[in-house]
Amino acid sequence: MRVTLRPVEAEPLNDYYPGAKLGLPQDGPGSVAGWGRRLLALVIDWALSMLAVAAFTGQEVWSGQGVSQWAPLAVFAVETWLFTSLLGGSAGQLVTRVVVRRTSGAPLGPTRALLRTLLICLVIPPLVFNRDQQGLHDLAVDSVALRR
């Protein structure tokens, strides 16, 4: 059996930027949100979740014992799901000016926002991503995190 290999036309790396394949601008509003903004948004969301749980359970949340060890994750999940489906991003994302949209530009909606949030809570999906900075959680629901 004879196999003929043909060269594949690939985009030059120096012309590529995150979001180019999706037709997004390179920078400014509507471009892919950078990792710094996303990480800061996550820290803000987690801090808000911890503070919300601490308001009800007291100091127990800081030791991570009893029911309060899982409560911040539950609060984080509910907050992220509700805010993303209603406002286009979690509280931290709103502060850091990040919006989550479908790749078509449409809002995520409650079902896609819930699936995306559950995958984020599993931790691993956001750590595996493509050149457009879409993690597995984004690819699963056809979404992308953009700058506002």
Render 75-92 in DSSP notation, one character per residue.
HHHHHHHHHHHHHSS-HH
Predicted confidence band of residue 47 (pLDDT cuts 50, 70, 90): very high
Q: Exposure of 115 by Cβ count < 10 A (0-12 exposed, 13-18 middle, 19+ buried)?
A: middle
The count of domains in the chain is 1
Give CA 125 to chain center in angstroms: 10
Let me know if residue 8 belongs to a domain.
Answer: no
Residue 15 lies in a domain: no
Residue 26 counted as domain residue: no
| pTM to 2 decimal places | 0.86
Structural domain including 69 reads 31-147
pLDDT at 36 over 90: yes
**pLDDT tens digits for range 56-87:** 888 888 887 777 889 999 999 999 999 999 99
* Res 4: pLDDT: 61
* Average model confidence (pLDDT) across the chain: 92
The answer as to whether 24 is a domain residue is: no
